[in-house]
Amino acid sequence: MSEWTADEMMTVTAARALAGRISCFVGIGLPSTAANLAQRTCAPELVLIYESGTIDTRPRTLPLSIGDGELAIRAQTVVSVPEIFNYWLQPGRIDVGFLGAAQIDRYANINTTVLGDYRQPEVRLPGAGGAPEIAASCREVVVIVRHRARTFVDRVDFVTSVGYGDGPGHRERLGLRGRGPIMVITDLGVLQPDPETCELILMSVHPGVDLDRIAAETGWPLRTHDSLGTTPPPTDEELTALRSLTTA
């Protein structure tokens, strides 16, 4: 089982980022797959929370939406939508927010609203959902997104969810209480914000991925960390668990 796809590498790496966490507020799609994998591998006690109000849910199949019945019947409790945002997310009780993105920029700001001008959009995307407050209020944020030039842009067309805004100190000036994105996991590598500049820099490259390709797929001059590493490949156990996840 030594072969794997780029998406599998990404999902496995993202799941590992949840090791040791107590609770995770999960977005649908790639984050949900990775969070469910984490629960089956490195973080069996992980409390998964979906914005539909399902708290500590252990779905047996991957949900297609954030409100599938499987999430409700397998939850410790189900609360209303105002409650999940006001009582659970807003006070900063949740360790990790796990988000996807249509665009992400060098300061890890996320756009899921429009491509192009807001009033005359080239592409109208689904919008904010829970993401702005997840990005603001979770103690830390992990982003999982495929590494493409159209996605990794110098500045997002629309700030739906704030990463580090314009750079150092901006989150504090905005009164955001969570730390912000600590890791961006892609199908090519792993990026983290530079502690000084808040700019995303390349921390590790997935096995077999060419550095030039990552540079070509990034819309700003991407810096690499001094001790740039290679991401550990997926283990057989991780791949088996991932491939046994079936979508509803």
Partner 1 sequence: MAELLTLAEGVAALVHDGDVVALEGFTHLIPVAAGQEIIRQRRRDLTLVRMTPDIVYDQMIGAGCARALVFSWGGNPGVGSLHRLRDAVENGWPVPLRIEEHSHAGLANRYVAGASGLPFAVLRGYSGTDLLHHTGTVATISCPFTGEQLTAVAAINPDVAVIHAQRADRRGNVQLWGITGVQREAVLAARRSLVTVEEVVDTLDPLPGAVVLPWWTVTAVAVVPGGARPSYALGYYDRDNDAYRAWDAVSRDRSSFGAWLSQLLGSTAGFPDGAGSSEVAGE
CB atoms within 10 A of CB 182: 16
Helix then strand then coil, in percent of the chain rounded to 5, is: 25, 25, 50
Q: Please count the residues of this chain forming the interface with partner 1, following the rule CB under 8 A.
A: 56
Sequence-ordered list of residues with C-beta below 8 angstroms from that of 88, at least 6 positions apart, any chain: 49, 55, 79, 94
Select from 5, 76, 80, 230 the one that contacts partner 1 (CB under 8 A): 80
Catalytic position from the list 51, 70, 133, 199: 51
Residue that the structure tokens 């491509």 belong to: 115
Residue from 74, 170, 223, 225 in contact with partner 1 (CB under 8 A): 170
Is residue 69 within the footprint of partner 1 (CB under 8 A)? yes
* 247 DSSP β-pair partners: 62
CA diameter of the chain? 49
**Residue 241 in contact with residue 6, Cβ under 8 Å?**
no
* CB count in 10 Å sphere of residue 133: 20
Residue with smaller CB distance to partner 1, 58 or 223: 58
167 binds partner 1 (CB under 8 A): no
Q: Which of 72, 201, 228, 245 binds partner 1 (CB under 8 A)?
A: 72
Kindly tell me which of 159 and 242 has the beta carbon lying closer to partner 1: 159
Applying CB under 8 A, which part among 1-9, 132-140, 146-154, 227-235 lies near partner 1? 132-140
CA distance 5 to 146: 12
Of 5-44, which residues contact partner 1 (CB under 8 A)? 28-29
Q: Say whether residue 54 binds partner 1 (CB under 8 A).
A: yes
CA separation for the pair 110, 127 (Å, rounded): 11
Q: 6-25 burial by CB neighbour count: b if 16+ within 10 A, else e?
A: eebbbbbbbbbbbeebebbb
Q: From residue 188 to residue 227, what is the string marking binding to partner 1 with x (rule CB under 8 A)?
A: ----------------------------------------
Is 126 near partner 1 (CB under 8 A)? yes
User: Does the annotation count 196 as an active-site position?
Assistant: no
- Contact residues for partner 1, defined by CB under 8 A: 28-29, 51-54, 63-69, 71-73, 77-78, 80-82, 85-86, 89-90, 113, 118, 121-133, 136-137, 158-162, 165, 170-171, 174-177, 247-248
Query: Catalytic site residues?
Result: 51
